[in-house]
Amino acid sequence: MDRTHLLNKLWQYQHQYGFISDEAVSEISNKLNVSNIEIESVISFYHFFHKKPTGKHTIYLNNNIISELKGFSTVKTTIEKETGCTFNEQGNEEFSLFETSCIGLNDQEPAALINFQPFTDLTPNKVKLIIQKIRNGENVKDFASKTKSKIRYTPEEDKTVIFRPYEMGKSILKGLKYTPQEIIDKISKSKLLGLGGAFFPVGYKWQSCKNNEDDAKYIICNADEGEPGTFKDRAIFQHLPGLVIEGMILAGYATGAKEGIIYLRAEYQFFKEELENLIQQFHTANLLGKNIKDINGFDFDIRIQLGAGSYVCGAASALIESMEGRRGEPPVRMWSATKHGFKHKPTIVNNVETLAFASRIIELGEDYFLNLGTEESPGTKLISISGDVAKPGIYEIEFGTTIRELLSIEMSQATAPYFVQVSGPSGECVNNTEFDRRICKEDILCGGSFMVFNRNRDILQILRNFMEFFKEESCGVCTPCRAGNYILTEKIKKIQRGLCAQEDIDEMKQWGKIIKLTSRCGLGKSSANTVTTAVDKFKDYFNVKIAPANFDKTVEFDMEDAIHEFDSIIKDTQL
């Protein structure tokens, strides 16, 4: 057994005992031949692994901005009162409470995971009922929420790619009529882009993996969607999981890979069993396993690897580190994954949505796809809409659709939209003069998260929530990212206290540039985007927040606040 089994081993102990003891670390160390200290460092990296005992029920409450605006604090207070525990502190035998950043349920906030089962649309009364049931000995699995997101909008049938009837094996059977090279040519011709947020040409990636001859190759499905506000990949898995599996099989056929791995974020483990059952059905139908559809030598199998709670693992390089049993810190990249990826073998890492689209392109033909969307971004895109809208949910839109259309009465029915966050905290904020911008490569791209805030919302509260998120999720390897995100958060707090001067805004912009230029991975390169552009895009709002030039600067640094902040960091580290 090698180190790639480390995460699974840790999960085994975490699930069974509620924590990973020193004895467990030693046992794993002996089995995998990895030092204790290295295992400790892996445990400390992931949010869902604990070194201290947790209660029989762990509650992870989402604290992202949508949850915050929909009642997070009253729900939090009620949970604490009903359980007798405090969030982020040692719990009791029955409960342990933790805040977490995003659990992929933004259309149903406030939401929490209890023993990794979802509980949505929480209210104080609902919380009281849930805790009562737990105290009565009921199994949380039996009364967890149904989480299928509403598929709110799809174009007319002849313009839909994803949300149309699905028939198991249809795209594979069609794909097997072509040679592997023809499959890649079709994907290249369709101009399909990676839809997780990187928008890298998929055909190029598949071709590169095919060209790199090796005895082993891997197809990894990146199901670690962690960007606050996105839940489209969950919706695909809950509505049309077969499409993703078929996309992986086709990628394997095209490139010669024989093993597929779904890296499933830990927050989604409540449907892991269903997914495993479906994989089994594919085996029974001779669509997975050896000699698929009686084609001699066409072998492909899929397994699921559970993540353990880390936003930065959504980046392909960090995801591979994680799968290899290390901390999910993005390494300095020397090679493309298609050359040296998982276990140093040629590897394709594609997002869930991308693989689902690849499967549909083979089924419907690349011309069908090319007839939709725009010149540079053909096809459609799934968008997760949440916030101040009457109809949150998943929307399949043609590329080229405007922000105004997404907000319209025909679609999400936004109420007095003012601040729209496209692509989550790492994306771009737009104001109401930009609502005619189009979602496509030629204008503004959207990885999937689309959050709407109305005129009554406090922009500083939104920005502070985003920066707290990045501060928490920064892996800390690069000093500019580690320190810069902290400093930007402090500056926002300073504005909230009414102590901010124009020079602070200038410094924020400078820090934004430094973090972007000197950070290693996408988190650092994008974390300051929203803060530094919001101050210009929402000038009227910020002008009244900035103190006049002659304000008393002697009170600008609040020592008591800084000490309090420092104390809580130390406490967090000790937990």
Exposure string over 350-371, b if 16+ CB within 10 A, otherwise e: bbbbbbbbbbbbbbbebebbee
Q: Please, which residue, 203 or 447, has the CB nearer to ligand SF4? A: 447
Q: Is 444 in the site for ligand SF4 (CB under 6 A)?
A: no
- The region of 282-290, 515-523, 535-543, 559-567 touching ligand SF4 under the rule CB under 6 A is 515-523
Interface residues for ligand SF4 in 220-239 (CB under 6 A)?
A: none
Q: Please, which residue, 128 or 482, has the CB nearer to ligand SF4? A: 482
426 in helix, strand or coil?
coil
Element at 219 (helix H, strand E): strand 218-223
Taking the complex as a whole, the smallest distance from the CB of residue 573 to ligand SF4 amounts, in Å, to 17
Q: Is 521 in the site for ligand SF4 (CB under 6 A)?
A: yes
Q: Please, which residue, 426 or 431, has the CB nearer to ligand SF4? A: 426
Q: Are 41 and 327 in contact (CB under 8 A)?
A: yes
Q: Is 312 in the site for ligand SF4 (CB under 6 A)?
A: yes
Element at 492 (helix H, strand E): helix 479-496
Distance of CA 419 to the CA centre of its chain: 22
Interface residues for ligand SF4 in 266-285 (CB under 6 A)?
A: none
167 in helix, strand or coil?
coil
- β-strand partners of 300: 289
- β-strand partners of 398: 380
Per CB under 6 A, the list member of 481, 487, 528, 546 interacting with ligand SF4 is 481
Taking the complex as a whole, the smallest distance from the CB of residue 173 to ligand SF4 amounts, in Å, to 42
Per CB under 6 A, the list member of 478, 500, 501, 505 interacting with ligand SF4 is 478
Taking the complex as a whole, the smallest distance from the CB of residue 418 to ligand SF4 amounts, in Å, to 30
Q: Please, which residue, 113 or 475, has the CB nearer to ligand SF4? A: 475
Q: For residue 217, is it left (φ>0), alpha (ψ between -120 and 50) or beta?
A: beta
Q: Please, which residue, 226 or 379, has the CB nearer to ligand SF4? A: 226
- The region of 124-132, 254-262, 473-481, 489-497 touching ligand SF4 under the rule CB under 6 A is 473-481
Q: Please, which residue, 423 or 474, has the CB nearer to ligand SF4? A: 474
- Give the amino acid at 198: A
- The region of 188-196, 413-421, 513-521, 544-552 touching ligand SF4 under the rule CB under 6 A is 513-521
Q: Are 78 and 129 in contact (CB under 8 A)?
A: no
Taking the complex as a whole, the smallest distance from the CB of residue 471 to ligand SF4 amounts, in Å, to 10
Q: Is 331 in the site for ligand SF4 (CB under 6 A)?
A: no
Task: Give DSSP secondary structure letters for 168-213.
Answer: TTHHHHHHTTS-HHHHHHHHHHHT-B-TTTT--BHHHHHHHHHHS-
Q: Is 516 in the site for ligand SF4 (CB under 6 A)?
A: no
Taking the complex as a whole, the smallest distance from the CB of residue 24 to ligand SF4 amounts, in Å, to 27
Per CB under 6 A, the list member of 477, 486, 538, 541 interacting with ligand SF4 is 477
Q: Is 330 in the site for ligand SF4 (CB under 6 A)?
A: yes
Q: Is 524 in the site for ligand SF4 (CB under 6 A)?
A: yes
Q: Using DSSP bridges, classify how beta strands 347-351 and 380-387 pair: parallel, antiparallel or unpaired.
A: unpaired
Q: Are 200 and 194 in contact (CB under 8 A)?
A: yes
Q: Which residue is nearest to ligand SF4 (CB)?
A: 524
Q: Is 467 in the site for ligand SF4 (CB under 6 A)?
A: no
Q: Which long-range contacts (CB under 8 A, 24 or more apart) does 281-284 make?
A: 281/168, 282/168, 282/242, 282/245, 282/249
Q: Is 488 in the site for ligand SF4 (CB under 6 A)?
A: no
Rounded to whole angstroms, the Cα distance separating 208 from 197 reads: 20
Binding site for ligand SF4 (CB under 6 A): 312, 329-330, 474-478, 481-482, 519-521, 523-524
